[in-house]
Chain A
Amino acid sequence: MIWELDFALLLFMILCAIAAITVRDLLHATIVLAAYSLLMTVLWSVMNAVDVAFTEAAVGAGITTVLFIAAIARTRRSSSD
């Protein structure tokens, strides 16, 4: 629709995706991935895919984040390599 909005959302999404795989702390990576999911939700809404946006918000930003945090709590927080 508005190309500036789409451009900004996609730019922040790419930044979040790069940050999520390059950051050393796994908890920070999880939170950045949740932010990526939130931007994805806004992008789906802009593209009039409300159903997909709802699923992305509920699963991507909600359940997956909690699942990753629970998994980090059971293992080590920082990567060693």
Chain B
Amino acid sequence: MRENVVIRTVSRIAVPFIQVFALYVIVHGALGAGGGFQGGVVFAASFILMTVAFGLTSVRKRLSNKWIVVYSVLGITIYAGIGLLCLLMGGNYLEYGVIETILGIPHLHGYLLDAVEIGIGITVMAVMTSIICDMADKGGESS
């Protein structure tokens, strides 16, 4: 399967489109269908497609275990940080309107909502990729 030209060519074309669609789903989640979780899952699906087409080592080269840990911590830090910032400003957890009122920046509410969605997306992408890579790992290949 490692030598299959059709799978490799289709994957090389499809993976960038899947990743761009995942970013669209994450950013567009506040307005329509989708959100951080769904976008992160779709982003992880692109890494699964890369695992199927090019093998686990090429995915590990682009996204090693160290970076998976960094991404999952970074995403949850963005999410919890913005939530606690709202708490410090005197509102409820993830109540963005308080920060917008205090700082006086228009549309800050929407930016913070998008930032929280991006944080969720990064964490879900890292954790899903980690689960699939560890399941597909035959042992000794992990770095």
- Which residues of A are at the interface with B, using a C-beta cutoff of 8 A? 50-51, 53-55, 58-59, 62-63, 66-67, 70-71, 73-74
Most chain B CB atoms below 10 A, which of A62, A67, A70: A70
A-chain residues with CB within 8 Å of residue B45 when the two chains form the complex: 58, 62-63
**Of the candidates A51, A62, A70, A74, which one forms a contact with B41 in the assembled complex, judged by CB atoms under 8 Å apart?**
A62
B-chain residues with CB within 8 Å of residue A62 when the two chains form the complex: 41-42, 45, 48
A70 near B38 (CB under 8 angstroms)?
no
A57 to chain B, nearest CB (A): 9
CB closest residue in chain B, given A50: B33
- Main SS of chain B's interface residues? helix
- Main SS of chain A's interface residues? helix
Within the assembled complex, what's the spacing in Å between the Cα atoms of A16 and B126?
Answer: 32
B38 near A54 (CB under 8 angstroms)?
yes
B125 to chain A, nearest CB (A): 11
Further 13 A-B residue pairs, CB within 8 A, beyond A54-B34, A55-B41, A58-B45: A53-B33, A54-B33, A54-B38, A59-B41, A62-B41, A62-B42, A62-B48, A63-B41, A63-B48, A67-B131, A67-B132, A70-B132, A70-B135
* Count of chain B residues with a beta carbon within 8 Å of a chain A beta carbon: 17
Within the assembled complex, what's the spacing in Å between the Cα atoms of A74 and B135?
Answer: 8
- Which residues of B are at the interface with A, using a C-beta cutoff of 8 A? 25, 32-35, 37-38, 41-42, 44-45, 48, 128, 131-132, 135-136
B-chain residues with CB within 8 Å of residue A71 when the two chains form the complex: 135
CB closest residue in chain B, given A71: B135
Within the assembled complex, what's the spacing in Å between the Cα atoms of A59 and B38?
Answer: 8
A51 to chain B, nearest CB (A): 5
B35 near A51 (CB under 8 angstroms)?
yes
B135 near A58 (CB under 8 angstroms)?
no
